[in-house]
Amino acid sequence: MKNRINQLFETKTGPVLSVYYTAGYPHLGDTVSIAHALEDAGVDMIEIGIPFSDPVADGPVIQQSNKVALDNGMTVSRLLAQVREIRQAGVKLPVILMGYLNPVLQYGVERFCIEAGQSGVDGLILPDLPLQEYENLYRPVVVSQGLRNVFLISPTTSVSRIQQIDAASASFIYAVSASSTTGAKKEFSPEQVDYFIRLQAMGLKNPLLVGFGISNHATFLQATAHTAGAIVGSAFVQALATMTNLSVDIRNFVVSLRGDAGQ
């Protein structure tokens, strides 16, 4: 079976919308319900965060969600079981697990990759996994399980480094909009838009998705004008805290963010 991430980019005609949320937040069992609601709302891909006690690349919203999820009892093994539930319930969206290397090392990289593949995971985003370490140590087990490893680039990433990452990638590249922590913004600066345009002009073989700062229709349009799509994290996690009806409230969130784009 072809990887769902690759299938998405081969068939999608409009901008891709990927939504991040933290596993086990706001409540331990919400991971599965949120996945259902996001698929029903027309989201193209989901990134489920692996809670970690020291999420250094994340801003206060996602940091707090990590703490709540850990306090709720979320673990790597429980998350993998929840992904199995998501698949057993018929959710067909590509699922990416995003987190830090430490919990994966503690779990065991080979064990993690095997169980992730068996659970129905399609990709991994581990921001603190160095490219060379991935290439030298982990690529065989990741690839053998049909997983796609996704790397991040930022406005300070050199052209040669971006080209190396493009060569090592087989799904998409996560273009961080600013050299900062995660967090919602009302609009992107002209410098950030210039960065998106520069990336577009590079002619990379992998599509680009922009993350960090996507919070509304304006930032979604700015990000997707020059790339294949956008990733929404902090704005969605923040909204989850006050949602009372996941199905209705998530659909309203997605519609307000994307409008008619890509539908």
Question: DSSP letter at 53?
Answer: S
CB 208 within 8 A of CB 16: no
Identify the active-site residue in 39, 44, 58, 115: 58
Crossing angle for the helix pair 76-88 and 30-40, to the nearest 10 degrees: 40
Instruction: List, edge to edge, every strand of the sheet that includes 123-125.
Output: 148-150, 123-125, 95-98, 45-49, 16-22, 229-232, 208-211, 173-176, 152-153
Question: Which residue among 47, 110, 187, 249 is the active-site one?
Answer: 47
Tokens 């996994």 found at: 129
Specify the 3-state DSSP secondary structure of 16: strand
47 in catalytic set: yes
236 in Cβ contact with 213 (< 8 Å): no
Q: In the numeric block, which tokens belong to residue 217?
A: 């229709």
Taken as a whole, the chain contains a residue count of: 263
How would you classify residue 21: left for phi > 0, otherwise alpha for psi between -120 and 50, otherwise beta?
beta
DSSP one-letter code for 115: H
Cβ 23 vs Cβ 79: under 8 Å: yes
Cβ-based neighbour number of residue 42 at 10 Å:
13
Tell me the CA end-to-end span of the chain in Å, nearest whole number: 26
Query: Phi/psi at 86 (nearest 5 deg)?
Result: -60, -45
Q: H/E element holding 208? A: strand 208-211
58 is catalytic: yes
Active site residues: 47, 58
